[in-house]
């Protein structure tokens, strides 16, 4: 069985450019919904959205027997940092973002979460010559040097994405994440591998996981699916069934036995049922991956006869 978590954003109201789905609800209600989903053992809490009443949040976590897989720090907000938090030209804006991130790290430690997570979606550009690429790297590296130094025992996770809301985000794929982590030079800085973002960046999630692991930067995993034309946040296996089986097979080989968080939009459907279904599907894909004989697959990897291998894999179903 996979250790499965849910990002709390998807337990309540969500919206896109055209529609708003479901009514807004408070954090305890979100956590009660997570607790009602079968196969879920943790949540990824948002900061600041889930941290205004930490006592109520703790009580709801306890009531639902939920761990905290990560604190998800929002650096993309409507009221500040509109041109980026870590790459803002104003040093005061960058300093404010770092200070808030440090408080989120302290909260993660208080709640027993092993990692601080952030997705720097608004760092990047829409037009040529809009963003100084040299200065932007210096700014963001300086910010993450300070964030990582705040608590060396806390894993600091960056979720990379190729675009949205920027036409091109600053850290768009696994290689750029590794390069950025090397610039920062902190051992506790690594990646959240989001499978859907891999597909958007034309990556194979298993190969990305292997690369990140070899560089000691594979810290966390999000799972969702899409058709590669948009970040639709669908149930894993909807479009890329074999890629998810290969991802779970590879994570097993790499020794990754940590939380895997769902990044799935429920739209108008009841979230406990959506995540109960998602957990069953993910565990089924994992179970299929366990049917693969590792020694036989090692031989097949060396022979590189893909049609024979795909026939064998289909015979496992």
Q: What is the CATH number of the domain that holds 214?
A: 3.20.20.150
Tens of pLDDT along 177-233? 999 999 999 999 999 999 999 999 999 999 999 999 999 999 999 999 999 999 999
Compute the half-sphere exposure of residue 11: CA atoms within 13 Å on the CB side of its CA.
30
The tokens for 8 are 């709390």
Residue 197's closest CA among 172, 234, 166?
172
The secondary structure of residue 11, as a DSSP letter, is G
pTM: 0.97
The Cα–Cα gap between 52 and 118 comes to: 18
pLDDT band at 78 (very low <50, low <70, confident <90, very high): confident
The Cα–Cα gap between 85 and 140 comes to: 8
Any idea which residue has 């761990």 for tokens?
67
Beta bridge partners of 46: 72
Question: Taking residues 105-124, what's their average pLDDT?
Answer: 98
* Whether the predicted pLDDT of 98 surpasses 90: yes
End-to-end CA distance of the chain: 18
Residue 177's closest CA among 186, 190, 164, 188?
190
Residues written for the chain: 317
| Structural domain count, the chain | 1
- Answer yes or no: are the C-beta atoms of 152 and 188 closer than 8 Å: yes
Domain range holding 72?
4-315
The Cα–Cα gap between 115 and 255 comes to: 18
Q: What is the pLDDT of residue 285?
A: 98
- Answer yes or no: are the C-beta atoms of 158 and 171 closer than 8 Å: yes
**Rounded to the nearest 5 degrees, what angle is found at the Cα of 49, between the Cα atoms of 137 and 177?**
25
Q: Which of 55-69, 73-87, 139-153, 161-175 has the lowest mean pLDDT?
A: 73-87
Q: What is the pLDDT of residue 289?
A: 98
Q: What is the pLDDT of residue 13?
A: 93
The Cα–Cα gap between 3 and 41 comes to: 7
């Amino acid at each position: 069985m996979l250790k499965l978590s849910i990002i709390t954003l998807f337990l309540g109201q969500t919206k896109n450019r055209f529609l708003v789905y479901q009514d807004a609800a408070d954090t305890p209600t979100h956590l009660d919904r997570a607790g009602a989903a079968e196969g879920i053992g943790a949540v990824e809490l948002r900061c600041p959205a889930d941290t205004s009443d930490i006592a109520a949040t703790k009580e709801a976590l306890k009531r639902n027997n939920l761990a905290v897989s990560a604190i998800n720090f929002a650096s993309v907000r409507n009221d500040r940092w509109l041109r980026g938090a870590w790459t803002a030209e104003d040093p005061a804006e960058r300093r404010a973002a770092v200070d808030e991130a440090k408080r989120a790290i302290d909260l993660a430690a208080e709640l027993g979460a092993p990692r601080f997570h952030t997705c720097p979606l608004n760092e990047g550009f829409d037009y040529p010559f809009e963003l100084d690429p040299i200065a932007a790297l210096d700014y963001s590296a300086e910010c993450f040097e300070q964030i990582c130094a705040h608590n060396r025992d806390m894993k600091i996770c960056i979720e990379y994405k190729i675009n949205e809301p920027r036409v091109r985000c600053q850290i768009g794929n696994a290689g750029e994440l590794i390069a950025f982590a090397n610039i920062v030079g902190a051992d506790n800085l690594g990646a959240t591998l989001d499978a859907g973002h891999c597909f958007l960046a034309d990556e194979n999630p298993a190969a990305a996981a292997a690369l990140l692991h070899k560089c000691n930067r594979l810290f966390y995993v999000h799972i969702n699916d899409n058709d590669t034309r948009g970040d639709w946040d669908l149930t894993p296996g909807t479009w890329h069934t074999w890629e998810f089986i290969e991802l779970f097979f590879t994570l097993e080989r790499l020794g990754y036995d940590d939380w895997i968080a769902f990044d799935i939009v429920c739209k108008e459907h009841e979230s406990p049922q959506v995540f109960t279904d998602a957990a069953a599907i993910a565990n089924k894909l994992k179970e299929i991956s366990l049917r693969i004989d590792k020694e036989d697959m090692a031989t097949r990897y060396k022979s590189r006869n893909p049609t024979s291998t795909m026939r064998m894999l289909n015979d496992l179903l």
